[in-house]
């Protein structure tokens, strides 16, 4: 958030050495950069060879002289590969959650120069001299292999662990956590991972806020994954030097990586999130719209909350940025903001999220600082004294989250000062960690030779725990709920992540700018984060820095209403006259905003179920087309379309002045235009009109999308009428999950799962349901089946019960066992009481084949 408007007087209480010159149109921006990259000296690579082999209970050990290599079999499709110095302990980073793997049966064969390990799904061939690893599927096809031409496929170069892998021109790469750039596919890119406070980043910025050292390869339509379990600064040359190989390495630490076989992308992602943890099912309120700004006054916060309600634009949450604190001291409140907070908390259906930074102000009259000093809780500089560096409150100390006592102390204060006061969620910012010390030569973070101490009193240099800092802070924050609200679901939003952080927090992509470049870039950034296990992801709607115009905000709110995490957030400190609420750009944009925000709330049952899927399988909520259609090569490089859940495809407009766009429809499906109901055969690119108020949306045929009536906030009304928006040509099914949406009771089994099936049978459509789980007191009284693109039915019945034909949707809602046909939209609506036991049949006289209207553009 570092920026200054030229015409404003300096208001900071600290000296900020790096100043960002800003005007209302942003004429300069600053993205902090780390020290220069450390290149890999390719003339100094190790040539390792195995002299002895030893079979272990869960794998094989190879004696490489000064080093040992370990191939450990975690599952039929998951293998851990390590090359460590002789006597060095195999140690997992904090990213790894699951450690109690049940080793599957495997066979080994020791050949003259090749050792083979076989599971039910994988064959692993290890070359002894030179040492190298090759993975094959059960059909004998090579999935992935070390690049052996240089004779040094893996090892250490001057202490830097590295791995070279063979590739071909048709292999594509996805994931890598949070990366800039306009493309989803990262083949040919040179990527880096070192968490940085990157305000105003661009498509070419190499280092941003989060580091997730995991990626997927897709070759011959089959996927695999690699997780480099190393927290040091790392580098990924993804066929950027040659079409024949890619490689990754780190500035230090162990050579340890996990290999995951697909062949489906979904298989890889499920294994990765089983290893590092899946997101927890969030509270439903956190899926509603959130509104935020840096430097809202207390009066503005209250007024904005009231304006949302007065204008009947749905809103669930207001965020409190750093202004609420007393002099930016963490765990304190300014009296004026505390009063505003209480007023908002008393408004029906509004929740609050409070920002929290790790920097603790150096102030001998400040209890938090004194506690940290007295208990030795802060990161130390090389001479053993606490490191003090400038951030928002001025000179500050930084908690050593490597230590359990420190994490416990931090979570105690979050519980007592924030959660116990009524705050509903925590927003962890500045946790790269960012420090305004650039002029001292420290590259906007703690000195690399500063250190923390772990629970065993081992010194861990900042060069190793830098990328873990926010992860460990998020863990401490998560634990605060156990102390304050033990049966409530946590909501934590973080700017910084490492692999595994998804089990604690949602992520947003930091201080984006109000530009078309950032709008476009947000799509591949979010989708690659989703492909890295971080399903709960979003961006600052409208952009944070600079100022959006009406067109840009309209396009951004259209897209933003369908992000997993939806929050409008902007910089108001730089220009008090600029506003970025939905009504700030005129009535037309207000109407557009309301239209799409209301759609989000209508789709809340669908969105909530998508998050349930993510919590069980690691599946993204905002999915790139390649996730579903990896057999369709045309999806491999699509960066501006995505699936919202499994059934809805969105093609937002992300270019200035455009009122139409090309849309690719993946092959193997029939696609229905959500607005016009026109049907298209997949495997083609079409041109669609997209005026300012129009977001192109396409529904996948044979889908059911659960919806409900619009609410002004989640939980405003009980869900009594579940609408099943259905597009059926053959058969559609949906498993609908329901719980109380806020507590942890679902972990004790208190939930319902209802399986719906809608099937086309000659001249009738048949609806049936079955209860898979019935342990929640659901308030649903009826299901409304919405059948799109249908002729008028002759009759509707369930067994001997005939359904009554009514003349309006209002009549339908109020009449049990009824149906209504909307001739204008060619839609059949059927009201089915929840207690209906028999199959419901919608009968037609002479049903026209749907394919007769199919468009092949």
541, part of any domain: yes
423, part of any domain: yes
- What is the pLDDT confidence band of residue 39, given thresholds at 50, 70 and 90? very high
* 855 pLDDT higher than 50: yes
Query: What's the rounded mean pLDDT across residues 329-338?
Result: 98
Is residue 231 domain-shared with residue 307, that is, in the same domain? no
47, part of any domain: no
* 739 pLDDT higher than 70: yes
678, part of any domain: no
Q: What is the pLDDT of residues 637-651, one digit of tens each?
A: 999 999 999 999 999
The span from the CA of 190 to the CA of 237, in Å, is: 5
Is residue 373 domain-shared with residue 354, that is, in the same domain? yes
At residue 121, the pLDDT reads 98
Q: What is the pLDDT of residues 256-313, one digit of tens each?
A: 999 999 999 999 999 999 999 999 999 999 999 999 999 999 999 999 999 999 999 9
* 16 pLDDT higher than 50: no
Query: What's the rounded mean pLDDT across residues 183-203?
Result: 97
Per DSSP, what are the bridge partners of residue 78?
A: 260
Write down the residue that tokens 């709330």 correspond to: 601
At residue 589, the pLDDT reads 98
Write down the residue that tokens 């209302």 correspond to: 24
At residue 21, the pLDDT reads 30
Is residue 194 domain-shared with residue 230, that is, in the same domain? yes
* 849 pLDDT higher than 50: no
Name the nearest CA neighbour of 147 among 134, 137, 136, 157: 134
At residue 10, the pLDDT reads 33
At residue 2, the pLDDT reads 36
Query: What's the rounded mean pLDDT across residues 78-96?
Result: 97
Identified catalytic residue from 171, 178, 511, 702:
511
| pLDDT above 70: percentage of residues in the chain | 95
What's the CATH code of the domain at 734? 2.60.40.1180
Is residue 252 domain-shared with residue 304, that is, in the same domain? no
- What is the pLDDT confidence band of residue 852, given thresholds at 50, 70 and 90? very low
At residue 31, the pLDDT reads 76
Is residue 144 domain-shared with residue 125, that is, in the same domain? yes
Q: What is the pLDDT of residues 579-593, one digit of tens each?
A: 999 999 999 999 999
Give the chain's mean pLDDT: 95
At residue 468, the pLDDT reads 98
3-class SS letters over 63-129 = ECCCEEEEEEECCCCEEEEEEEECCCCCCCCCCCCCCCCCCCCCEEEECCCEEEEECCCEEEEEECC
Domain boundary among 234, 258, 276: 276
Domain boundary among 564, 595, 617: 617
What's the CATH code of the domain at 350? 3.20.20.80
The parent domain of residue 794 ranges over 718-853
29, part of any domain: no
Name the nearest CA neighbour of 787 among 796, 779, 778: 796
Give the DSSP per-residue string, 636-702: TT--S-EEETTTEEE----STT-SEEEEEE-TTSEEEETTT--EEESSEEEEEE--TT---EEEESS
Query: What's the rounded mean pLDDT across residues 766-772?
Result: 98
Q: What is the pLDDT of residues 219-238, one digit of tens each?
A: 999 999 999 999 999 999 99
Per DSSP, what are the bridge partners of residue 485?
A: none
3-class SS letters over 511-575 = CCECCHHHHHHHHHHHHHHHCCCCCCEECEECCCECCCCHHHHHHHHHHHCCCCCCEEEEECCCC
Identified catalytic residue from 229, 429, 679, 790:
429
- Is 86 known to be catalytic? no
The span from the CA of 120 to the CA of 103, in Å, is: 12
Name the nearest CA neighbour of 725 among 781, 775, 789, 814: 789
Burial class for 149, CB neighbours closer than 10 Å (0-12, 13-18, 19+): exposed
The span from the CA of 555 to the CA of 648, in Å, is: 18
Distance, CA of 173 to chain centre: 18
Q: Left (φ > 0), alpha (ψ -120 to 50) or beta: where does 728 sit?
A: beta
Identified catalytic residue from 237, 323, 432, 725:
432
Domain boundary among 215, 242, 276: 276
State both tokens at 731: 């058969």
| pLDDT above 90: percentage of residues in the chain | 94
34, part of any domain: no
At residue 678, the pLDDT reads 97
* 851 pLDDT higher than 70: no
What's the CATH code of the domain at 91? 2.60.40.1760
The span from the CA of 498 to the CA of 228, in Å, is: 12
* 671 pLDDT higher than 70: yes
The span from the CA of 647 to the CA of 554, in Å, is: 24
- What is the pLDDT confidence band of residue 856, given thresholds at 50, 70 and 90? low
Contact between 95 and 229 under an 8 Å Cβ cutoff? The reply is: yes
Distance, CA of 188 to chain centre: 24
514, part of any domain: yes
Is residue 111 domain-shared with residue 138, that is, in the same domain? yes
- What is the pLDDT confidence band of residue 847, given thresholds at 50, 70 and 90? low
Burial class for 87, CB neighbours closer than 10 Å (0-12, 13-18, 19+): exposed
* 7 pLDDT higher than 90: no
Contact between 285 and 351 under an 8 Å Cβ cutoff? The reply is: yes
> Which 8-state DSSP code applies to residue 7?
T
Q: What is the pLDDT of residues 721-736, one digit of tens each?
A: 999 999 999 999 999 9
At residue 19, the pLDDT reads 32
632, part of any domain: no
Is residue 782 domain-shared with residue 816, that is, in the same domain? yes
- What is the pLDDT confidence band of residue 45, given thresholds at 50, 70 and 90? very high
User: What is each CA distance from 544 to 523, 622, 797, 840, in whole angstroms?
Assistant: 16, 21, 54, 51
Task: Compute the CA torsion angle 542, 543, 549, 552 (nearest 10 deg).
Answer: -60
- Is 432 known to be catalytic? yes
* 829 pLDDT higher than 70: yes
* 744 pLDDT higher than 80: yes
Is residue 325 domain-shared with residue 417, that is, in the same domain? yes
Is residue 125 domain-shared with residue 151, that is, in the same domain? yes
- Is 716 known to be catalytic? no
Q: What is the pLDDT of residues 422-455, one digit of tens each?
A: 999 999 999 999 999 999 889 999 999 999 999 9
At residue 340, the pLDDT reads 98
Burial 95-133 (b: 16+ CB within 10 A, else e): bbeeeeeeebebeeeeeeeebbbbbeebbbbbbbebbbb
At residue 135, the pLDDT reads 98
Structural domain count of the chain: 3
Burial 618-641 (b: 16+ CB within 10 A, else e): bbbbbbbbbbbbbebebbbebbbb
- State the pTM of this model: 0.96
Burial class for 223, CB neighbours closer than 10 Å (0-12, 13-18, 19+): buried
Burial 743-762 (b: 16+ CB within 10 A, else e): bbebeeeebbbbebebbbee
Q: Which residues contact 46 (CB under 8 A, 6 or more apart)?
A: 152, 155, 156, 157
Q: Which residues contact 167 (CB under 8 A, 6 or more apart)?
A: 147, 217, 219, 239, 243, 244, 245, 246
- What is the pLDDT confidence band of residue 30, given thresholds at 50, 70 and 90? low
Is residue 176 domain-shared with residue 215, that is, in the same domain? yes
Is residue 309 domain-shared with residue 256, that is, in the same domain? no
Is residue 303 domain-shared with residue 446, that is, in the same domain? yes
């Amino acid at each position: 958030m570092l920026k200054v408007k030229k015409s404003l007087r300096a208001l900071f209480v600290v000296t900020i050495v790096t100043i960002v010159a800003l005007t209302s149109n942003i004429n300069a921006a600053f993205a902090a950069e780390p020290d220069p990259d450390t290149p890999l000296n390719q003339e100094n690579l190790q040539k390792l060879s195995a002299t002895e082999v030893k079979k272990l209970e869960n794998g094989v050990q190879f004696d490489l002289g000064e080093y040992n290599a370990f191939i450990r079999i975690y599952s039929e499709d998951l293998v851990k590969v390590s090359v460590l110095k002789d006597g060095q302990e195999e140690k997992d980073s904090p990213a790894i959650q699951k450690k109690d793997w049940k080793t599957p049966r495997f066979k080994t064969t020791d050949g003259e120069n090749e050792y083979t390990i076989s599971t039910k799904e994988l064959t692993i061939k290890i070359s002894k001299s030179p040492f190298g690893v090759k993975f094959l599927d059960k059909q004998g096809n090579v999935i992935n292999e070390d690049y052996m031409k240089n004779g040094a496929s893996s090892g250490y170069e001057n202490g830097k662990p590295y791995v070279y892998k063979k590739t071909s021109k048709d292999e594509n790469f996805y994931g890598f956590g949070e990366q800039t750039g306009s493309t989803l596919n990262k083949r040919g890119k040179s990527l880096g991972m070192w968490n940085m406070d990157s305000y105003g980043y661009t498509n070419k910025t190499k280092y941003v806020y989060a580091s997730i050292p995991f990626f997927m390869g897709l070759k011959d339509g089959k996927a695999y994954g690699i997780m480099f379990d190393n927290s040091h600064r790392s580098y990924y040359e993804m066929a950027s030097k040659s079409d024949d190989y890619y490689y990754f390495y780190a500035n230090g630490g162990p050579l340890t990586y996990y290999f995951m076989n697909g062949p489906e992308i979904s298989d890889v992602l499920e294994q990765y999130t089983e290893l590092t943890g899946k997101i927890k099912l969030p509270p439903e309120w956190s899926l509603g719209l959130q509104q935020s700004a840096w430097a809202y006054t207390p009066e503005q916060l209250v007024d904005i909350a009231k304006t949302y309600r007065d204008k009947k634009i749905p809103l669930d949450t207001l965020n409190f940025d750093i202004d609420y604190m007393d002099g930016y001291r963490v765990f304190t409140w300014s009296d004026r903001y505390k009063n505003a907070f209480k007023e908002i908390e008393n408004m029906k259906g509004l929740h609050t999220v409070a920002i929290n930074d790790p920097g603790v102000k150096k102030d001998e009259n400040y209890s938090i600082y004194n506690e940290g000093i007295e208990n030795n809780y802060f990161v130390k500089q090389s001479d053993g004294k606490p490191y003090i560096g400038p951030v928002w409150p001025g000179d500050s100390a930084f908690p050593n989250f490597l230590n359990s006592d420190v994490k416990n102390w931090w979570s105690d204060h979050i519980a007592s000062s924030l959660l116990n006061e009524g705050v509903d969620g925590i927003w962890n910012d500045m946790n790269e960690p960012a420090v305004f010390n650039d002029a001292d030569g420290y590259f906007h973070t703690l000195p690399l030779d500063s250190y923390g101490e772990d629970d065993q009193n081992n010194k861990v240099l900042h060069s190793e725990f830098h990328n873990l800092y926010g992860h460990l802070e998020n863990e401490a924050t998560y634990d605060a709920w156990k102390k304050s609200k033990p049966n409530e679901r946590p909501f934590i939003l973080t700017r910084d992540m490492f692999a595994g952080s998804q089990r604690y927090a949602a992520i947003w992509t930091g201080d984006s700018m109000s530009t078309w470049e950032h709008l476009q870039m947000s799509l591949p950034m979010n989708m690659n984060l989703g492909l890295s296990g971080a399903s709960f992801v979003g961006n600052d709607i409208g952009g944070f820095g600079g100022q959006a115009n009406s067109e840009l905000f309209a396009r951004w709110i259209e897209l933003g209403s369908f992000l997993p995490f939806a929050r409008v957030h902007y910089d108001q400190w730089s220009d008090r006259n600029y506003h970025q609420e939905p009504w700030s750009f005129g009535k037309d944009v207000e109407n557009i905003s309301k239209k799409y925000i209301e759609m989000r709330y209508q789709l809340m049952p669908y969105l909530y179920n998508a998050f349930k899927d993510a919590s069980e399988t690691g599946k993204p909520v905002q999915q790139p087309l390649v996730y579903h259609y990896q057999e369709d090569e045309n999806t491999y490089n699509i960066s501006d379309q995505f699936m919202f859940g499994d059934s809805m495809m969105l093609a937002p407009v992300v270019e200035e002045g455009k009122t139409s766009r090309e849309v690719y429809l993946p092959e193997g499906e029939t696609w229905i235009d959500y607005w016009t109901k026109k049907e298209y055969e997949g495997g083609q690119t079409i041109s669609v009109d997209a005026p300012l108020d129009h977001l192109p949306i396409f529904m996948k045929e044979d889908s059911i999308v659960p919806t409900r009536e619009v609410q002004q906030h989640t939980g405003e009304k009980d869900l009594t009428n579940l609408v099943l928006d259905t597009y059926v040509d053959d058969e559609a099914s949906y498993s609908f999950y329901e719980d109380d949406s806020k507590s942890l009771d679902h972990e004790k089994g208190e939930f319902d799962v209802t399986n719906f099936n809608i099937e086309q049978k000659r001249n009738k459509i048949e609806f049936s349901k079955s209860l898979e789980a019935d342990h929640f007191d659901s308030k649903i009284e009826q299901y409304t089946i919405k059948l799109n693109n249908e002729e008028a039915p002759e009759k509707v019945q369930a067994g001997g019960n005939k359904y009554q034909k009514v003349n309006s949707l209002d009549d339908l809602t109020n009449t049990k066992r009824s149906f209504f046909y909307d001739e204008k939209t060619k839609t059949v609506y059927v009201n089915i009481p929840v207690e209906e036991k028999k199959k419901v049949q919608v009968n037609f006289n002479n049903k026209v084949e749907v394919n007769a209207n199919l468009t092949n553009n």
